[in-house]
Chains A and B, each alone.
Chain A
Amino acid sequence: DAMVIQNPRYQVTQFGKPVTLSCSQTLNHNVMYWYQQKSSQAPKLLFHYYDKDFNNEADTPDNFQSRRPNTSFCFLDIRSPGLGDAAMYLCATSTTQGTEAFFGQGTRLTVV
């Protein structure tokens, strides 16, 4: 059974049109991560939550926002997607500091 679920698997959005990607987990983990992965590159950490504490990476563009309304769900909002934001977006969860991270299948975002 899938433990970290990302929806949708594929998302096409128009340039400048806000888009939201979702992630849900059945593991009750308190840490959730969002990564951006471009083709042939490593996953790049955008931000993470430790419970409700939000931690933004210094180089994450302001165009990217996140919400975590409860333990199970986390959302990635891209306010005005540009062509450079086309990528795979990966959500991951872990229990406490330092334990294994479980990844979803990712959402492939295309900007047209």
Chain B
Amino acid sequence: AQSVTQPDIHITVSEGASLELRCNYSYGATPYLFWYVQSPGQGLQLLLKYFSGDTLVQGIKGFEAEFKRSQSSFNLRKPSVHWSDAAEYFCAVYGGATNKLIFGTGTLLAVQP
């Protein structure tokens, strides 16, 4: 069965500091991986995705993520966080055999001045 683990429930960083949000997945084949961001009361916006090819993917708003098959990870990074990045971040995995898009439990990011 496919699953996603985001070990950090809540993270606080200072504005301008770097950020890394962790994501580990479980899936028997090559997964399709996504990071979404959600602001309070809003729907989900796609930040970036990995299907195949280059394991370092660039997304919107200055985010990037690296797929590491050996570690079953797809961590999200940003070199310098802005106050507007405060939101909840969800990692998700799509399984071609199941047609399902499954989300991790999310990481709530707070940005302090």
A interface with B by C-beta (< 8 Å): 4, 31, 33, 35, 40-45, 48, 50, 55, 90, 92, 94, 97-106, 108
* Minimum Cβ distance to chain B for residue A87 (Å): 13
Could you tell me if A42 and B105 are in contact, using CB atoms closer than 8 angstroms? Answer: yes
**Can you list 16 A-B pairs, Cβ within 8 angstroms, ordered by A?**
A4-B43, A35-B103, A40-B106, A41-B106, A43-B103, A48-B99, A55-B99, A90-B44, A92-B44, A92-B101, A99-B32, A101-B46, A101-B101, A105-B42, A106-B41, A106-B43
Partner of B44, one of A31, A40, A103, A108: A103
Given the interface contacts A42-B106, A43-B44, A103-B43, does A97 sit within 8 Å of B101 by beta carbon? no
Residues of B within 8 A of A103 (CB): 36, 43-45
B interface with A by C-beta (< 8 Å): 32, 34, 36, 41-46, 49, 51, 90, 94, 96, 99-106, 108
Could you tell me if B43 and A105 are in contact, using CB atoms closer than 8 angstroms? Answer: yes
Q: Which 8 residue pairs are nearest across A and B when measured between Cβ atoms? A: A103-B43, A98-B32, A42-B103, A103-B44, A105-B43, A42-B105, A43-B103, A98-B94
Given A40-B106, A43-B44; 18 other pairs, CB 8 A cutoff = A33-B101, A42-B90, A42-B103, A43-B103, A45-B100, A45-B101, A48-B100, A55-B99, A92-B44, A94-B101, A97-B96, A99-B32, A100-B49, A101-B101, A103-B45, A105-B42, A106-B41, A106-B42
Residues of A within 8 A of B44 (CB): 43, 90, 92, 103
Distance A105 CA – B45 CA, assembled complex (angstroms): 10
State the main secondary structure of chain A at its contact with B: strand
Residues of B within 8 A of A94 (CB): 101
* Minimum Cβ distance to chain A for residue B44 (Å): 4
Could you tell me if A41 and B99 are in contact, using CB atoms closer than 8 angstroms? Answer: no
Of the listed residues A31, A42, A45, the one surrounded by the most CB atoms of chain B closer than 10 A to its CB is A42
